[in-house]
Amino acid sequence: MDRQKKIIINPGSSDARLTRQKLGFGCLTLTTLATVIPIFAVVIYILIKGLPAISWSFLTTFPFDGVKQGGIYPAIVGTFLLTLGTAIFSVPLGIGAAIYLSEYASESRWTRIIRIAIINLAGIPSVVYGLFGLGMFVIFLRFGTSILAGSLTLSIMTLPVIISTAEEALRAVPQSFRVVSISVGATRWQTIRRIVLPQSLPGIITGVILGLERAAGETAPILFTAASFFLPRLPNSPLDPTMALPYHLFVVSTQVPGMPVKIQYGTALVLIAFVLGMNLIATTIRSRARAHRQW
C-alpha cells in the first residue's frame, strides 16, 4: 500500500529525506538533553551532597582546626560585603553611563569609542582584572589587600554588564513618551527622572542583579586583592582583608589536605544557592515587570 503511493507521487527521495530528518531531530534532541541534563545534575548533586553539611551553626560560626571544622560564616559575610561594595561603585557609575549613552549622546565617533571600550572591558579575563587590581588598588593606591581593593576591582569588571543591560532597558522606553514630556515643558533631565528611569527600572534592576551575581561568584579578581585564607575575626573596616565564598571553596578543595568532603560540598552549596538565588530574583522581577507594563 505504501509502496504504491510512493511510486505515484514521488519516487524514493522524500521518504529518505523524512527518515534523515527524524534521525537528525533525534540527534539534536539528544544534544540538547546533553546540555540541559548536566545543569540539573550539577545542581542536584551538589544539593544532595552538600545538604548534610548545612546547619545553623555551619552558616553562623567560624571555622577552626585550620578550616577543617566549623562553619563558613566569615566567608558568607565576606562575599556579602564584597557584593555590597561592588554595588556601591558600579551601580551609580554604570547607570550614569547608560543614561548618557541612551539619553544624551548622539551617535558620534566618541560614542563609538565608548562602546568599544565597554566591549573590551567585558572581554578582559578575570585574572587580568586581578592583576590590575593588584597593581592599581593594592599597591599603587596602597589600599593593601582589602575589601576596598577587591570591591573596586570587581566593580570595574561588573561595569560593562550593568551598562549594557541598563542601556537596553532605557532604550526600550518608547520615544513618544519623551516627546510628549518635552512638549509640556520638561527639561531632558526631568523627562529622564520622571518617566524614562521609572519605566526602565525593572530592566535596570534585573541587569544589576545579574551583574552582581557574577561578581559574587568570581574568584580570580579577589585572589590578590581582597581574599584571605583564614581570618579569626570579621573585617571591621573596608581596608581589612576578608574571606569569601568562592575563594573559600577553592582553598578547601585544593589547598587543605584531609579536608572533609562534606564541608567542601556544603560550601559549594551555599555559594550556588547565593548565586542562583540572585538569578531567581532577577528573573522574577523581569517577568513581573513585563506583565505590568503600561506600554
Positions in 59-118 near other proteins (CB under 8 A):
92-97, 99-101, 104-105, 110, 113-114, 116-118
Q: Which is nearer to other proteins, 56 or 135 (CB)?
A: 135
C-alpha cell at 123: 572581554
Query: Which residues does 235 contact at the CB level (< 8 Å), separation at least 6?
Result: 78, 81, 147, 241, 242
56, amino acid identity: W
Query: Which residues does 205 contact at the CB level (< 8 Å), separation at least 6?
Result: 282, 285
Interaction with other proteins in 121-150: which residues (CB under 8 A)?
121-132, 134-136, 139-140
Q: How far is the CB of 78 from other proteins (least distance, A)?
A: 14
Classify burial at 125, counting beta carbons within 10 Å of its beta carbon; exposed 0-12, middle 13-18, buried 19 or more.
exposed
Beta-bridge partners for 69: 64
Q: Which is nearer to other proteins, 32 or 57 (CB)?
A: 32
Q: Which is nearer to other proteins, 136 or 239 (CB)?
A: 136
* Sign, Cα dihedral of 184, 186, 187, 188: negative
Q: How far is the CB of 14 from other proteins (least distance, A)?
A: 8
Interaction with other proteins in 211-240: which residues (CB under 8 A)?
213-214, 216-220, 223-224
Q: Which is nearer to other proteins, 106 or 236 (CB)?
A: 106
Dihedral (Cα; 46, 50, 52, 55), 10-degree rounding: -130
Using CB under 8 A, pick the residue from 5, 6, 44, 45 that binds other proteins: 45
Q: How far is the CB of 210 from other proteins (least distance, A)?
A: 8
Residue 194 as a binder of other proteins (CB under 8 A): the answer is yes
Q: Which is nearer to other proteins, 42 or 84 (CB)?
A: 42
Q: Look at residue 62 and give its three-state secondary structure.
A: coil
Q: Which is nearer to other proteins, 56 or 67 (CB)?
A: 67
Q: How far is the CB of 66 from other proteins (least distance, A)?
A: 18
Interaction with other proteins in 271-290: which residues (CB under 8 A)?
271-272, 275-276, 279, 283
Span between the terminal Cα atoms of the chain, in Å: 57
Q: How far is the CB of 3 from other proteins (least distance, A)?
A: 21
Number of C-alpha atoms within 13 angstroms, CB side, residue 130? 15
Q: Of 161, 166, 159, 158, nearest to 101 (Cα)? A: 166
Interaction with other proteins in 10-39: which residues (CB under 8 A)?
17-18, 20-21, 24-25, 27-29, 31-32, 34-36, 38-39
* Sign, Cα dihedral of 269, 272, 276, 278: positive
**Residue 78 contacts residue 235 (beta carbons within 8 Å):** yes
Q: How far is the CB of 21 from other proteins (least distance, A)?
A: 4
Interaction with other proteins in 195-214: which residues (CB under 8 A)?
195, 199, 210, 213-214
**Residue 260 contacts residue 93 (beta carbons within 8 Å):** no
Q: Which is nearer to other proteins, 51 or 179 (CB)?
A: 179
Using CB under 8 A, pick the residue from 4, 183, 236, 237 that binds other proteins: 183
Q: How far is the CB of 234 from other proteins (least distance, A)?
A: 22
